[in-house]
A = this chain, B = another copy of it.
Amino acid sequence: MQHPNPERAALAGATPARAQTARERARDQITAEIVAAARIRLAESGPGELSLRAVARDVGMVSSAVYRYFASRDELLTALLVLAYDDLGSAAERADAAVADRADVIGRWLAALRAIRGWALAHPGDYALLYGSPVPGYAAPQATIEPAVRVIVVILSIVTEAHALGRIATPTAPAGPVTAAAEMASVAGAVAFVRARGLVGDEVPTELVIRTLMAWTTVFGTVSFELFGHLVGSVTDLDVYFDVVASRLAADLGFSALR
**Chain A interfacial positions (CB closer than 8 Å to B):** 44-49, 110, 128, 131-136, 139-140, 145, 174-178, 182-183, 185-190, 193, 210-211, 213-214, 217-218, 220-222, 224-225, 228-230, 233-238, 240-241, 243-248, 250-252, 257
Contact = CB atoms under 8 A, between A and B. Distances in A.
A218 B217 CA distance: 6
Given A136-B45, A174-B251, A217 B228 contact: no
Contacts of A46: 133-136
B176 A247 contact: yes
Contact of A178 (B139, B235, B238, B247): B247
Number of identical monomers bound together in the oligomeric complex: 2
Contacts of A188: 236
Contacts of A186: 235-238, 240-241, 244
B237 A182 contact: yes
B136 A210 contact: no
A187 B248 CA distance: 14
A187 B48 contact: no
23 contacts: A45-B136, A46-B133, A46-B134, A46-B136, A47-B133, A48-B48, A132-B132, A133-B228, A174-B251, A174-B257, A175-B247, A176-B247, A177-B247, A178-B240, A185-B237, A186-B235, A186-B241, A187-B235, A188-B236, A193-B233, A217-B218, A220-B225, A224-B224
Contact of A133 (B128, B241, B244): B128
A128 B135 CA distance: 10
A185 B134 contact: no
B211 A241 contact: no
Chain B CB count within 10 A is highest, among A134, A145, A257, for A134
A121 B87 CA distance: 31
A186, A237, A240 pick with most chain B CB within 10 angstroms: A186
A234 B191 CA distance: 8
Given A133-B228, A182-B240, A214-B245, A234 B189 contact: yes
B183 A244 contact: yes
Contacts of A245: 214, 217
B229 A140 contact: yes
A47 B228 CA distance: 15
Contacts of A140: 229
A134 B234 contact: no
Contacts of A145: 233
Nearest to A175: B257
